[in-house]
Structure 1
Amino acid sequence: MSEGQSLETRSVQRNRQLHVVVPCPRCGSSKTRVSHRATLADQLWSLVYKRPYRCQVCQARFHAASRGGRRKRKILRQRLLRVSLVFLAVMGLGLGGVLLVFSLKPQPPYSVQSRLDHAQTALDTTLTNAQIRSALAGYGYTPERLSQGKALYEAALAAQKRQQTAYADQLAITERLNQVWDAADDSYQRLVKIARVAFKNNAGLGQQLALDSPRQEDIALWLKQVQRFYATALQSPQVLQGLSIYSITPAKVQAAQGQLRAVEEMVSTLQTQKNRVREVNELRDRALKVLDDWIEDFTAIAEVALEGQPQLLNSLELKKGVP
């Protein structure tokens, strides 16, 4: 492995050895590693060939496909299919039962954008169609009440845009953190290699500098490890003298140490932004809940008001848009 190879590249290569590059679903970083199976949930996930991962940036723990998981899941589906066919045959359902079971596909969850789109369709169609407005007016849905629904939609849409902007900012901050972390780690790894040469015959200094300790992958533990190295080096004349043989001056050590401050600042910035994302998520969800409740009532009344007029009712797309 070349000396200048970045931590990002090394992390990606480690994951590629498992046939998968796994980004963190929370912060978007590719600095993730396989975690040990430690809980009952981990064991249950393993039944569908998913294993736990840990993000080194935000510490999120999540599950993703393990090595060979796609092929194994295909085999599992084939086995389940055979078992299902046997079961249906035994129950006497025959081919019709088989086709019925496999035609029942689970419906995907309604996304935020889907809920907004269908609410917009229902409101805009109602506001622009005099026949629908007239039918609904007889059940209390006056222009003023419809305007209230439109205002709820606009509020939810604005909240969704704020959430998207905040999350995009979080991804940008994560990327910047990855960059400064890579740069700081490259400097640290370079000095560690030089120190190992300089103090290969001095076990005491090697132990003080933790030269043989495994590199910490968690960013908080990594910071402590690197801070210890720099603090020990700068406080020890013997270490500085040994490094000077290889043209490593105290100023160079201090410059490398200064890169840690950039990492610490970005870690703090990322945490602040994560809190911001959490806040706007909650505000967005509350705005959507109010809109969903309004659309739910509107749907029930529209089905009554437009009974016998399926074309008008279908134009509102209410059945599709209400969770």
Structure 2
Amino acid sequence: MSKEIDALISKASVAITNGIQQEPIATLLSEFGYTPERLAVGEGLLNTTEQLNRLQIKEDGEQKEATSVLNHSIKKANVVYMPHLKIARIAFKNDVNLSTQLELRGERKQKQSAWLGQTKVFYNNLLANPKALEKMASFGQSSAKLEVGLQLVLAVDAQLAVRKKEMGEAQNATETRDAAADELQEWYSDYIEIARIALADQPQYLEMLGIISPS
């Protein structure tokens, strides 16, 4: 879709600019209703589409950057979380209650929001339980080390919120850009068809508008 819009902007720019600036063409077009005022409308649609296209590209880039940062944050948190999880499974292998509270059993959830919920449950419930902390400390995992893990998870939480925001902005920018492009396309299509009629005897003028007359 992006390449199609780029192509539309390019050809509409040529057709509208030369339709306005080339006096012989402008004169012939005005006889078929495409006055300077009407061409100015097309120019406005073109400018709006160009601006929204640039905004969409910017928002798309910010979304991709936010996704990259989020993925890096998860990877960084997992470097600390997975050893803590493995140690907790050993420490509480015979404790059904804590195994349940800390969600120690089963595979780790892969969906980002689900992974986040699972890791937050693990650290929050663990850090809130003095006896569990004492047991973890016996394996060299102090509350300070566990707190580091929690903070890395909370950093993922914050970054996930940023990514969701950027996704929403990128989607909105795309929808707005596409709507503007549709409006420009409709105006441009009519304009070109009228230009073919108005300039039928002047193929060189058609070419100046980017229209190649059939041989």
User: Shorter chain as normaliser: what TM range?
Assistant: 0.7 to 0.9
Aligned mates of 2:47, 2:39 — CA distance in 1: 12
Q: Aligned equivalents of 2:127 and 2:2: distance in 1?
A: 57
Structure 1 partner of 2:171: 278
TM-score, normalization by structure 2:
0.87
The TM-score with structure 1 as length reference comes to: 0.60
Aligned residue number for residue 195 of structure 2: 302
Correspondence for 2:71 among 158, 166, 178: 178
Q: Deviations for 1:179-211, whole angstroms, at most 9, x for unmatched residues?
A: 2111122211120122233344x2424444333
TM-superposed CA distance for 1:318, in Å, is: 4.4
Corresponding residue number in structure 1 for 2:44: 151
> Which residues of structure 2 form unaligned runs of 5+?
none
Structure 2 counterpart of 1:196, one-letter code:
R
| Correspondence for 1:21 | none
2:127 matches 1:248 = no
Aligned partners of 1:241, 1:255: CA distance in 2, in Å? 17
Structure 2 vs 1, CA of residues 121 and 230 (structure 1 numbering), >3 Å: closer, same or farther?
A: same
Matched, 1:193 2:86: yes
Matched to 2:68, the amino acid is E
Percent of aligned pairs with the same residue? 29
How far did residue 176 of structure 1 move? 1.2
Choose which of 104, 119, 129 in structure 1 pairs with 2:12. 119
**3-state DSSP class of the match of 2:140?**
coil
* Farther-moved stretch of structure 1 (163-172 vs 254-263): 254-263
Q: Is the 8 A contact 1:198 1:243 kept in 2?
A: yes
Q: CA deviation at 1:125?
A: 2.5
Inter-partner Cα distance in structure 1 for 2:48 and 2:24: 27
SS at match of 1:210: coil
2:55 pairs with 1:162 = yes
Structure with larger RCO (C-alpha < 8 A, sep 6+): 2
Structure 2 distance, partners of 1:218, 1:269, is: 17
Partner of 1:317: 210
1:174 is matched by which residue type in structure 2?
T
- Going from structure 1 to structure 2, the CA distance change for 1:299 and 1:287 (only over 3 Å counts) comes to same
Counterpart residue number, 2:30: 137
Paired amino acid for 1:172: E
Aligned residue among 94, 111, 122 for 1:218? 111
Matched-pair contact (CA < 8 Å) for 1:166–1:273: yes
1:277 Cα deviation from its structure 2 partner: 1.7
Tell me the CA shift for residue 109 of structure 1: 9.8
Could you list the runs of 5+ residues in structure 1 that have no partner in the other structure? 1-107
Deviations 1:105-134 (A, max 9, x none): xxx997110111110111122233333222
